[in-house]
Structure 1
């Protein structure tokens, strides 16, 4: 039993680990495509984005960011920031979302850049487990088991979403196949009818000219 609990806690630690992404955003004079990092969340899932930027405001570059999903929902937008920014939001739809950065150079003929450290936490990893442990007076083992339980629920929900999406894609594929088949049958019938009409027309034409 002890080994099972240890194994569960070890797996939970591996799954819930958060890795920082380090970026270097060069400042440019002209507008260029933003530097974006994409992740995927399901509807109603809690997401926490932590951004740590080097430099200071007024250092000759304006660093901005926005968080927007692929269906058009914008969760946060901030211009000319430096230091630490924390953004928490609940996903409005099951879709990919982008954290995009734009760094505009304010001092001409300079080479400036900002170092970015980006952390994205979603689902159970984004919850404040210390506050939950204090509020519900849970033991450390109970907290870890709660994490595993929520992670399991998230995996099940994601698998159900993928299954439903696969069913929709399969239905779309079958519908497309039926339409292509029906269109092909119509084309074949039309070609046969056109051929028969051409043969009949030419036969009547040659008969009228007494060729046959």
Structure 2
């Protein structure tokens, strides 16, 4: 019963995952932005498919193709820059919280000919994911298995707590920015009102002086 409860909770307390695919040309760079808290593990899995002009479909593999992966931090520091194969996994740990730019660029050899230079890239980004080694879990007895899964569950809870704290920080920053903007708008409205009142008083005085000089009043 306890193992079932842990398994049930594990299905819900999972980290954020982003799975997508997009099309790209040969040597064309495509980037996505991932907002990541500090000290968080990010794992990316990708697979490249090549368009076959004769079959008019994407092939399951793209032999001879390389994929250059670059990760840039919010401070413009290059955190990862490495060449992988047509299918692979990359990972990095964030040192700063904020928007990390993940870029992928195909790096084909001159011996590989692409029909129309069209590629389909499948990308799965997992933030804060810590995988369980099932072989280790199965080798242990039931008590140790429960302990291992509990430790993994605690790690996931810590990650969720970290995500929540990061969202609170972002919300607080956004609130301060909104308050500053509203304050600036209020002061600008007051300044505009004072300027308009001053111009009105000056116009009335000018007209009064004009009428007096012309002896109209």
TM-score with structure 1 setting the length = 0.73
Q: Where does 1:25-174 land on structure 2 (aligned, <5 Å)? A: 25-28=23-26, 32=28, 34-53=29-48, 54-57=61-64, 63-79=67-83, 81-103=84-106, 106=110, 110-114=115-119, 116-123=121-128, 125-127=129-131, 129=133, 139-174=144-179
Superposed displacement of residue 113, structure 1: 4.6
The one-character-per-residue Cα deviations of 1:45-85 (angstroms, maximum 9, x if unpaired) are 1223334443232xxx6643323345423232234x42444
Q: Is the 8 A contact 2:42 2:126 kept in 1?
A: yes
Q: Counterpart of 1:189 in 2: which secondary structure?
A: helix
Which one of the candidate residues 192, 196, 212 is aligned to 2:197?
Answer: 192
Q: Counterpart of 2:197 in 1: which secondary structure?
A: helix
Looking at structure 2, the residues matched to 154 and 70 of structure 1 have their Cα atoms a distance apart, in angstroms, of 20
Q: Which segment drifts farther, 35-44 or 187-196?
A: 35-44
Looking at structure 2, the residues matched to 78 and 20 of structure 1 have their Cα atoms a distance apart, in angstroms, of 21
Assess, with a 3 A threshold, how the Cα gap between structure 1 residues 159 and 68 changes in structure 2: closer, same or farther.
same
Q: Which segment drifts farther, 17-26 or 70-79?
A: 17-26
Assess, with a 3 A threshold, how the Cα gap between structure 1 residues 108 and 156 changes in structure 2: closer, same or farther.
closer
Looking at structure 1, the residues matched to 10 and 201 of structure 2 have their Cα atoms a distance apart, in angstroms, of 72
Corresponding residue for 1:6? 4
Q: Please tell me the root mean square deviation across aligned C-alpha atoms, in Å.
A: 3.6
Assess, with a 3 A threshold, how the Cα gap between structure 1 residues 17 and 198 changes in structure 2: closer, same or farther.
closer
Aligned residues: 201
Q: Name stretches of at least 5 consecutive residues in structure 2 with no aligned partner.
A: 49-60
Looking at structure 1, the residues matched to 137 and 172 of structure 2 have their Cα atoms a distance apart, in angstroms, of 40
Q: Counterpart of 2:202 in 1: which secondary structure?
A: helix
Assess, with a 3 A threshold, how the Cα gap between structure 1 residues 190 and 155 changes in structure 2: closer, same or farther.
same
Q: Which segment drifts farther, 100-109 or 157-166?
A: 100-109
Looking at structure 2, the residues matched to 66 and 160 of structure 1 have their Cα atoms a distance apart, in angstroms, of 27
The one-character-per-residue Cα deviations of 1:13-53 (angstroms, maximum 9, x if unpaired) are 3544897947465544xx65x33444332111122333444
Q: Name stretches of at least 5 consecutive residues in structure 1 with no aligned partner.
A: none
